[in-house]
Structures are given as C-alpha cells and as structure tokens.
C-alpha cells in the first residue's frame, strides 16, 4: 500500500472531544472519524487493525472447537419478554435501541444474543448426543449508552466477538468455561496485551461464575483490587476483603443524645469525639423491580464503609427472586416529590418502623432490611434515634431487636486485608475490560423453555455459558498500553502495517528506485508494508510514521547511493544503517518470532 492512495489525514492538535490518550491518538492518526455521539467510522488504517485482531480471535476460537456463525441484529421483543429482560433493557435507562416495524411489532437492536441463540439451540439440538456445542460470531452490537465517552471504549455501536456454549450438565459447562479462559489469555497475548483476569459480577447477563479480563491503564473505568502475590484479583463490584478493626465504643451507659444538624458521619464524629467505625450508618434506597414495583430497602453499614450497589442489587434479586432493574438512593428531589418530611433522614436507626411507609405512594409497605457484616459484628455502637437531631450511644443489636438479613454489601477497599491471607493487603489498579466470560447455568434455557433429551430420555433445560470479547475495545485498549509522547506503538501482530518505507526525496531517482525495490521484495516475503511516496518534507513523514505507530521504519535517503538504508524500531528508537537486504531480513525475523 502506498500512502498516496491511503486517504491518510493526520492531525497535530489534540481533538477537543477526546478525553484520554488512546482516543486522542486514534483521531489524530486518522484511524476513526466521529459521525455523531458514540458512533464512529472505522477508516482504512483502523479496519486493517480490526481485521488482524479478528483473524487472531477466529483462529483461536476455531482451535478451541467453536463454530462460527452470524446471528441477526434485529431481535423480536417477544423473545426478550420471555427471558424477562425486555423491560429492563428498554425502559428508563435501558441500553437497548428498540423500534416498531410496519406491522406494529416491537424489535430491538441486539446488545447481546442470549435469547436468539437459545431459541436456535432449542430448535436445532434435541439430544445430549449433540452436546456440547460452542457457537460464536463477530458482529456489530448496539447499546444506547447514557454517556458515550472515550471513543471506542464506550460507544453506542461497536464490534464484538460473542460466543454461547450449550451443555448437558454443569461439569461439562465448567470445562468449556475453563477452555475459554485459556483461549482468551492466548488471544490477548498474541495481540501483545498484558491482561489481568479478575472475579466479576455477572450483572444483567446473569449466571453464577464470571470473570473479566482487564488491561491495566490509568484511563480504565473499572477499579480492580489485587493481592501482591497475584492469588486474588477482583473488580470492586465483586471484591471481598477483611475491613480494618473497629475502634471500641464502650460508654458507661446507653442513652439518647442531642445532635442538632449533625446528619452526616463527619459532623457527628467531630462534634461528639466519635470514630466512624463506631457508628451504624442507615440508608434508605429503592429497588425498582419488574413492572416498576418499588421496594424500599433499609441498609445498615458501619460508618467508615461504603455501600456497594451491585452487591445490594444481587442480594435483593436473590432474596425476593425478582429482577432488579435499578437501584435509587432517595435524593432531595425524591424527598420533596414523595413528601417524606416525616422520615428523619440523617438520624435513622436500624429499627426504623415500617409504618413510615404507609402513606408513600408506589412503595411497598415493608422495608427489606439488610445489614452489612461490618455493622452486624459490632457489639456496641452509635446509631440514629429515628428522631430529628437525636442519636443513641451505647446501643447493641440485642437492644434494637432481631437482626435479619446479614450480608456483604460493602465496597472492598485498597489497604484492607485479603480473604485468602489476612497478612496480605489489597492493592488498587484501574482497568479496561476487554473480555468477560460467564457460566450462565440454566437461566435462559429455563425462561425460554429450551430443552434437550438426556441419557434417561427425559426433557432437561440446557446448561449454558457465554463469552464476550470487545474487538474495537481491544484495539483502543492496546493503545492505552502501547504509546509514547510521539504517538501509537502498535504491537507487531495487530499493527495496520508491519513496516513503513520513508523516502526522503521522491524526486531523487536512486531513492525512488531503491525504495520501490525494497517495497516489492517485502511484499514478496509476506511483509505488510506501507510506502510513503508523498512529496512531503522528511520531518512530516517521520512524525506521521511515529503517530500512526508502524513498528518498523526503513528510511531511504542520502545513503541510498551507497546501497544503505536506515532501519528504525518504533518502540526502542534503535537505529541501524544496513543494506536493504539486511533490513528486510531483520523485519522478517521479527515477524516470524511473533
């Protein structure tokens, strides 16, 4: 490929809309062009990168025994209604684009394909003898992100590899899950990425075990907690830890004290010489369930800890066996709308009576009470008195009454002790999720009544797994991990070109001739090469080569008359003056070693 035919348009200035370096470099290097918010065109350079990533993914998935297919992007609403996900994915802040066809039938643009593939499996697979099977596709997905940002990291249209496995039993599902874990690690290694596998929450996809694959980067939206020995790693949504010991609270007597306007932990502690770990903090939240049912929650947690909303959602869903669409904290606007002046926010105790809910429109009339282990383990503590400007000291769970629904609903934090080794402290890193694997169990097969005949001749629901990998997200994550002050430093296997030939002066016949010969020889040896044949200054060509991140640069200049060319490695900046054949052999050796 010649640069004069590449439609290459680069930028020297940092684009205003790009917040992180990888997004900036993709725009500046002419890799992507924004069409509208969260929607990008993949320009020729970008498409070459994506094709190389796709080729690696396809090869590894095929080697793992998966079958490639292509599923429809338009999904009938009735499939999603049967799985129970249509409302949560389309109502309110749901992420599914949905539309109505000319026959007034509801359709959705697929953000994921569990429903569609489960329907197909039910129609195609009838016996345990046909199992296991793992089906994958590489396709464009659509998600109506509330706030698209960071370029391809959180876009509304993106390319993803998603696969779905079907099994006759849970043990067999576990085998494929492990196989996909190994396959993913091999894919990321071949793409030149260093990743961390972490325990993760299954979220709206559902299921039991799940694992995310993270590229560690300062720009990562996910917070991951790891132990120094590498034996523990989890997304903060899922992470567990041992909190620091609470400071002993042991007053001479239990009593109610006046705490005017002290409705925060900080104010209460500073005024009364207390420590946050001595306080039981009580929070009211609202779980929005299926059919917009609003279930009030009364959450108790130690004062120095924070609520983990994902853990709360999971606990509520498991406890009442209903899907939680979202979780809301009662803010000032909600207080005014629902006329909640009779509830003394900031002074709540774990024993707040259910009768405060009687006149609140739309809410269930009984709290679902959940107490975090950090609070449940306190023998003596401070808590609100359920009266404005009043708190109680020297309280215990015995004095407050029965303690129900103890659970882990707190955020694990860096510096806390690891559950597998209390002497080990958790460390904090930011990560970009590029892959996620799930053991779905029988959630979708049961709701969609997808069955097979087992060895005993009985109908049984499939065991399922699903495995997602972001193709476009992986490409941008690679830049977050591989760049410098000059531009992108692509790993060789996924670079748009493996080498670029920069001709200093295209009007010089010897330079034009030698560069043309090198170009042809490299193509003949299977090297993916770009020839910069523009009539630009050498400085412009060098800057563009650095910006777009081609791993090797061959400079044909003044030494061409002596049969010598300059070879430059992009990452190390190592420069050698060699003859043209040596230059080709050096790049060929590097290519074959990857």
pLDDT at 293: 87
Q: 93-120 burial string, b = 16+ CB within 10 Å, else e? A: ebbbbbeeeeeeebbbbbbbbbbbbbbb
3-state helix, strand and coil shares in percent for the chain, rounded to the nearest 5: 30, 30, 40
Burial of 516 (0-12, 13-18, 19+ CB in 10 A): middle
Supply φ then ψ for residue 189, to 5 degrees: -65, -40
- Are the folds of 3-240+428-480 and 497-593 the same? no
C-alpha dist (Å) from residue 65 to 62, 126, 169, 177, 329: 5, 20, 18, 13, 46
**CATH code, residues 255-407:** 3.90.960.10
Q: Domain 497-593 class?
A: alpha beta
pLDDT band at 324 (very low <50, low <70, confident <90, very high): confident
Cis peptide before 132 (omega within 30 of 0): yes
* Per-residue pLDDT at 206 exceeds 60: no
Supply φ then ψ for residue 424, to 5 degrees: -95, 130
pLDDT at 165: 98
The 10s digit of each residue's pLDDT in 231-284 is: 899 999 889 999 999 999 999 899 999 999 998 999 999 999 999 999 999 999
Q: Determine the average pLDDT of the residues in 359-364.
A: 89
Give the angle subtended at the CA of 358 by the CAs of 357 and 359, to the nearest 5°.
100
DSSP-derived letter for residue 249 is -
pLDDT at 204: 52
pLDDT band at 212 (very low <50, low <70, confident <90, very high): very high
Supply φ then ψ for residue 156, to 5 degrees: -90, -15
**E strand or H helix at 60:** helix 44-63
Residues 308, 411 contacting (CB under 8 angstroms): yes
Residues 559, 577 contacting (CB under 8 angstroms): yes
pLDDT band at 210 (very low <50, low <70, confident <90, very high): confident
* Per-residue pLDDT at 332 exceeds 90: no
Structure tokens belonging to residue 415: 């510096």
The 10s digit of each residue's pLDDT in 483-538 is: 999 999 999 999 999 999 999 988 889 999 999 999 999 999 999 999 999 988 99
* Per-residue pLDDT at 30 exceeds 60: yes
Neighbours of 447 (CB within 10 A): 19
* Per-residue pLDDT at 414 exceeds 70: yes
Distance, C-alpha 530 to centroid of its chain? 34
pLDDT at 203: 59
Q: Determine the average pLDDT of the residues in 417-427.
A: 92
Q: Where are the domains of the chain?
A: 3-240+428-480, 255-407, 497-593
pLDDT at 434: 95
**What is the homologous superfamily of the domain 3-240+428-480 according to CATH?**
Bira Bifunctional Protein; Domain 2 (3.30.930.10)
Q: Determine the average pLDDT of the residues in 86-106.
A: 90
0.95 exceeded by pTM: no
DSSP output for 346-387: TS--TT--GGGGTT-TTB-SS-EEEEEHHHHT-SSEEEE-SS
* Per-residue pLDDT at 208 exceeds 70: no
């Amino acid at each position: 490929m010649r640069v004069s035919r590449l439609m290459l348009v680069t930028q020297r200035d940092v684009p205003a809309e790009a917040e992180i370096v990888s997004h900036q470099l993709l725009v500046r290097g002419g890799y992507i062009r924004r069409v509208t918010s969260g929607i990008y065109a993949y320009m020729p350079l970008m498409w070459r990168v994506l094709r190389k990533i796709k080729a690696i993914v396809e090869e590894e998935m095929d080697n793992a025994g998966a079958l490639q297919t292509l599923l429809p992007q338009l999904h009938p609403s009735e499939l999603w209604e049967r799985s129970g996900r249509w409302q949560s994915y389309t109502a309110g802040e749901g992420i599914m684009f949905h539309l109505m066809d000319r026959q007034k039938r509801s359709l959705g643009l697929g953000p994921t394909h569990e429903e569609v593939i489960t329907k197909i499996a039910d129609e195609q697979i009838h016996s345990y003898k046909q199992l296991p099977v793992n089906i994958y596709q590489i396709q464009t997905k659509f998600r109506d992100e509330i706030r698209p940002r960071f370029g391809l990291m959180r876009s509304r249209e993106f390319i993803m590899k998603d696969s779905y496995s079907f099994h006759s039993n849970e043990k067999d599902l576990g085998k494929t899950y492990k196989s996909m874990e190994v396959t993913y690690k091999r894919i990321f290694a071949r793409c030149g990425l260093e990743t961390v596998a972490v325990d993760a929450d299954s979220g709206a996809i559902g299921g039991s075990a799940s694992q995310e694959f993270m590229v560690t980067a300062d720009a990562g939206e996910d917070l991951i907690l790891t132990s120094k020995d590498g034996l523990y790693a989890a997304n903060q949504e899922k992470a567990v830890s041992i909190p620091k010991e609470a400071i002993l609270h042991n007053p001479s007597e239990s009593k109610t004290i006046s705490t005017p306007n002290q409705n925060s932990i900080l104010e209460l502690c500073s005024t009364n010489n207390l420590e946050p770990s001595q306080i039981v903090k009580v929070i009211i939240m609202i779980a929005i369930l299926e059919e917009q049912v609003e279930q009030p929650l009364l959450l108790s947690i130690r004062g120095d800890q924070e609520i983990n909303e994902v853990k709360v959602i999971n606990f509520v869903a498991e406890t009442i066996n209903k899907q939680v669409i979202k979780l809301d904290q009662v803010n000032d606007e909600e207080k005014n709308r629902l006329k909640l002046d009779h509830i003394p926010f900031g002074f709540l105790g774990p024993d707040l009576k259910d009768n405060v809910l009687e006149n609140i429109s739309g809410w269930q009339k009984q709290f679902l009470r959940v107490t975090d282990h950090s609070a449940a383990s306190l023998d003596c503590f401070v808590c609100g008195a359920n009266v404005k400007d009043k708190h109680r000291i020297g309280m215990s769970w015995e004095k407050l009454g029965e303690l129900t629904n103890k659970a882990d609903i707190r955020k694990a934090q860096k510096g806390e002790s690891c559950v597998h080794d209390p002497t080990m402290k958790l460390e904090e890193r930011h990560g970009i999720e590029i892959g996620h694997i799930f053991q779905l169990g029988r959630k979708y097969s049961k709701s969609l009544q997808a069955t097979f005949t087992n060895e005993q001749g009985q109908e049984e629901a499939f065991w399922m797994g699903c495995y997602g990998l972001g193709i476009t997200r992986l490409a941008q994550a690679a830049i977050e991990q591989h760049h410098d002050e000059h531009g992108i430093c692509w790993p060789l296997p996924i670079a748009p070109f493996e080498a670029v030939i920069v001709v200093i002066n295209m009007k010089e016949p010897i330079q034009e001739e030698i560069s043309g010969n090198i170009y042809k020889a490299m193509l003949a040896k299977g090297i993916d090469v770009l020839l910069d044949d523009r009539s630009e200054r050498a400085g412009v060509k060098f800057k563009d080569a650095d910006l777009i991140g081609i791993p090797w640069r061959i400079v044909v200049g003044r030494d061409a008359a002596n049969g010598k060319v300059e070879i430059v490695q992009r990452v190390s900046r190592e420069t050698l003056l060699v003859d043209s054949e040596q230059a080709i052999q050096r790049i060929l050796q590097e290519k074959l070693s990857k």
